Chain A
Amino acid sequence: MKPKNQRLVLVVAAIVAVLIAVLLAMWGLKDRASYFYTPADVVAGKAVQGQAMRLGGMVERGSIQRQADGVTIRFVVTDGKARTPVVYRGIVPNLFREGSGAVAEGRLENGTFVADTILAKHDERYMPPQLGNLAAEHKAGKTLER
């Protein structure tokens, strides 16, 4: 290969590599990104059944029900406007409790959210950003109710 050609080939190879990366990423992101929905979005029909997604909101007070096998729980996630039932099999994270924020990863099946993972906020200082506004809205809503 002549030096001139060599540089050209290298430049073309680099551009092709970047293009391949972008195309592959676009292809992958098209149906593998999991969107974040609130119960209101679910009610509005934004979430597709069976597709991987995240559901975020507050765990409704009094909604956590332990199932007979001891490791499955059912609870309701709410954003103040709508409610979505969730079922989860596993050990819940340590800061998962009623009246506090949680994000569940999983999919919708017949109106129930089947969670693979539950992420709770780590402590008062570590709030998922997606829940940041929600918590404020929730509080504001409550004060209004009163």
Chain B
Amino acid sequence: MIAETGLAALWLAAGLAALQLVLMVLALRSDLEVGRTVRAIAVVQGALTLVAFAMLLLVFARTDLSVALVFENSNVAQPFIYKVAGTWGNHEGSMLLWVAILSVAGAFLAFLSRRTSERTLVAALGAQAALALGFYAFLLIASNPFARLDLNNALFTGALNARGLNPLLQDPGLAFHPPTLYLGYVGLSVAFSLAVGALLTDQVDAQLARAMRPWVLGAWVLLTLGITAGSYWAYYELGWGGYWFWDPVENASLMPWLAATALLHSINVLAARGALKAWTMMLAVIAFSMSMVGTFLVRSGILTSVHAFAIDPERGTFLLALLAIYVGAAFTLFAVRGATLKEGAPFELISRETGLVINNLLLSVVLGIVFLGTLYPLFVEAVSGEKLSVGAPYFNAVAGPLALILAVLVGVGPLLSWRRERRPVFKQLTIPVLLGVTALAITIIVSPSMTILPRLGLTVATYLAAASILPLLRRNPLRAPLATWGMVIAHFGIAVALAGMAMNAAFTSERLAVIKPGETLDVGPWTVLLKDVTPGAGKNWTAVEADLRATRGEKITVLKPQTRYFSNPPTETNEAAIETFWNGQLYTVIGKPDPSGGWQVRLWWKPFVTLIWTGGALIGFGGALALLGRLWRRRRRRSDWRKERYV
């Protein structure tokens, strides 16, 4: 019954989305007053998808094996948290989560939006419904999460053995990483719908930008945190000691982030100055298109990785068709309406507007490079049948220097004033530049053999750390708006993350050897003793566990890396043991036994590697602060306005 309820809710929601779309078209063609109705429908539609998702959660929590999806992806022996998180650890469930977030975002837009004109809102809700409708169709036709298990078929194929969640995904990270990322991905749909709505009603103005901004900020914060968390997850779960692999799936999350970052900056120009209208609408369309490209890349099974749950050409074609329809329609609309947009406010060459335009251009170039590098293998294989992969050597060499240039300019942009800058701004940057040069000199003296990118990374990071706080020093920091604080913290976070990446690249030391219990291995400043290797067991795995004693000076640190063996499906995973210190992380992995009685042990000493994720968290925190500041200010303004009216 539970599964059927979920399915019914999904069908109802699809029907409501269709109705919402029809009403939007009617309202745009006549002056029909449908605002209230459309709002109500959007809210109910959101509630229905929540019901559907809750039903799927319930089915997974109870491990109802009569549902095919649960049967294929869950297991009675799995710990409870992974039973629940397993709901989105598979293709159908994660698509349902995607659609649920899409509809709930639409509901919130309907419920909360008071800033846009009624016509634009109705048009935006119609666009949101059109998006939802396509993905409902995808779920209901090509990947029904609630389908019952066909017992005869299962008996016939002899597949009667529940398979369980992929062990790599059996990690607390699964509970947070995908939902956070999805909220970010799909949160951008609201920006997309608002842009489409405003283009339809021809009301692209500062008002619209102010309505759109909290959504963009919120989605961007979640994307930032999702990517940061995903990076740390990959770092400790995969046991390779790397934090970013330029895997196509990682790029799929990076591309919407890059587009959203550009949008976040250009939307401020539109909100504050009414300029860059067409530009901002374009970015809003691109940002969510990148989310859909990402979903297509990950969910169509065209790429292989842990993220590609299933390989099914029907689904891939369906998703590709949806992608083509939505992106094509939005770009056509943009081409038709974009040229007729009224001119924004003018600005001079040296102004904050120009700074933000350059930021946007650089981000777009980086986005283009990542996009082309990610899709190139697919393109080549489709054209010539040749198989190839594009990895770190390409992305680091081509996008890396541009990212550094961008980081340099991050220090300059916030110092410029709107419209035109007459003051000698660059003088303020003297101290940061001197600090950067000092850092460069120190790296040359301390480590002459360092490669060029990490060296420049450290230089720019030092400069940016100082330059990013200048906007606060120009006035009384305590009276600066929360949004300014947010910006400063986010920009400072870039410097922190950059420093972490540079130091990880430059100073990491690694050792790999076979040692017997009682022997030691040195890495960086550490001496690590292999005390013992013992068997262990968990609820659905067995393991071998090494007992490592690391010393640096007197204090002994105990690390216990494991290799885990799962029987269902049969897999092994490496559980690295990582110890964090103020100045870095000691990362240990236990490998295979050796006939001599020793064990393969792999050790890394990674100075200041944690700065990478600290920086990511700071960037996200800065964004959250800016969002709070904007919302709070708007609330205060509204209550002031009410007070005035009643007085």
Interface residues of A (CB under 8 A from B): 1-4, 6-7, 10, 13-14, 17-18, 20-22, 24-25, 27-29, 32-36, 52, 54, 66, 69-71, 89-92, 94-95, 105, 122-130, 132
Contact = CB atoms under 8 A, between A and B. Distances in A.
Interface in B279-323: 279, 302-304, 306, 308, 311
21 contacts: A1-B349, A7-B343, A21-B364, A24-B398, A25-B369, A25-B373, A29-B373, A33-B388, A33-B390, A34-B389, A36-B387, A70-B513, A71-B514, A71-B600, A91-B574, A91-B591, A94-B563, A95-B572, A124-B569, A129-B303, A129-B311
A94 B344 CA distance: 59
Contact of B390 (A14, A29, A122, A127): A29
Given A21-B366, A25-B398, 14 more contacts: A3-B343, A14-B279, A14-B364, A24-B402, A27-B398, A28-B397, A32-B397, A33-B394, A34-B391, A36-B389, A69-B514, A71-B591, A91-B239, A130-B387
Contacts of B570: 123
A89 B512 contact: yes
A29 B357 CA distance: 27
Given A52-B393, A125-B569, A14 B369 contact: no
A72 to B, nearest CB: 10
B388 A36 contact: yes
Contacts of B598: 70
Contacts of A124: 569
Contacts of B368: 17-18, 21-22, 25
B596 interface: yes
Given A21-B364, A22-B368, A28-B369, A94 B389 contact: no
Q: Which 5 pairs between the two chains have the least Cβ-Cβ distance?
A: A70-B514, A21-B368, A94-B572, A36-B387, A91-B591
Contacts of A10: 276, 279, 357
Contacts of A27: 398
Contacts of B402: 24
A21 to B, nearest CB: 3
A92 B512 CA distance: 12
Interface in B568-605: 569-574, 589, 591-592, 594-596, 598, 600, 602
Contacts of A13: 357, 361
Contacts of B514: 69-71
Contacts of A132: 311
A100 to B, nearest CB: 12
Contacts of B389: 33-34, 36, 54
A28 B589 CA distance: 34
A37 B367 CA distance: 29
A124 B266 CA distance: 47
A2 B345 CA distance: 10
A6 B269 CA distance: 15
B388 A91 contact: no
A64 B348 CA distance: 68
Contacts, number: 143
A95 B512 contact: no
Interface string B308-340: 100100000000000000000000000000000
A17 B282 CA distance: 15
B168 interface: yes
Interface string B232-273: 000000010000000000000000000000000000000000
Nearest to A36: B387
A24 B304 CA distance: 26
Nearest to B245: A117
Contacts of B201: none
Contacts of B276: 10
A35 B394 CA distance: 13
Contacts of A3: 343-344, 346
A128 B308 CA distance: 10
Given A17-B365, A70-B514, A123-B570, A6 B376 contact: no
B386 interface: yes
A66 B596 CA distance: 11
Nearest to B367: A21
Contact of B388 (A21, A24, A34): A34
Contacts of A54: 387-389
Contact of B512 (A52, A71, A122): A71
B571 A123 contact: yes
Contacts of A52: 393
Contacts of A4: 343
Nearest to A121: B304
A6 B592 contact: no
B388 A1 contact: no
B373 A122 contact: no
Interface string B556-572: 00000001000001111
B398 A28 contact: yes
Contact of A95 (B366, B394, B571): B571
B377 interface: yes
Contacts of A35: 386-388
Nearest to B387: A36
Contacts of A6: 343, 346-347
Contacts of B302: 129
B542 interface: no
B595 A32 contact: no
A17 B373 contact: no
Interface string B397-413: 11000100000000000
A17 B571 contact: no
B574 to A, nearest CB: 7
B364 A18 contact: yes
B376 A29 contact: yes
B372 interface: yes
Contacts of A2: 346
A17 B367 CA distance: 11
A144 B169 CA distance: 39
Contacts of B369: 21, 24-25, 28
Nearest to A18: B368
A34 B392 CA distance: 10
Contact of B594 (A70, A92, A94): A70
A33 B398 CA distance: 12
B66 interface: no
A36 to B, nearest CB: 4
Interface in B68-126: none
A82 to B, nearest CB: 16
Given A7-B343, A69-B514, A1 B348 contact: yes
B143 interface: no
A10 B347 CA distance: 12
Nearest to B591: A91
B166 interface: yes
B363 to A, nearest CB: 9
A6 B353 CA distance: 12
A20 B365 contact: yes
Nearest to B239: A91
A32 B396 CA distance: 10
A69 to B, nearest CB: 7
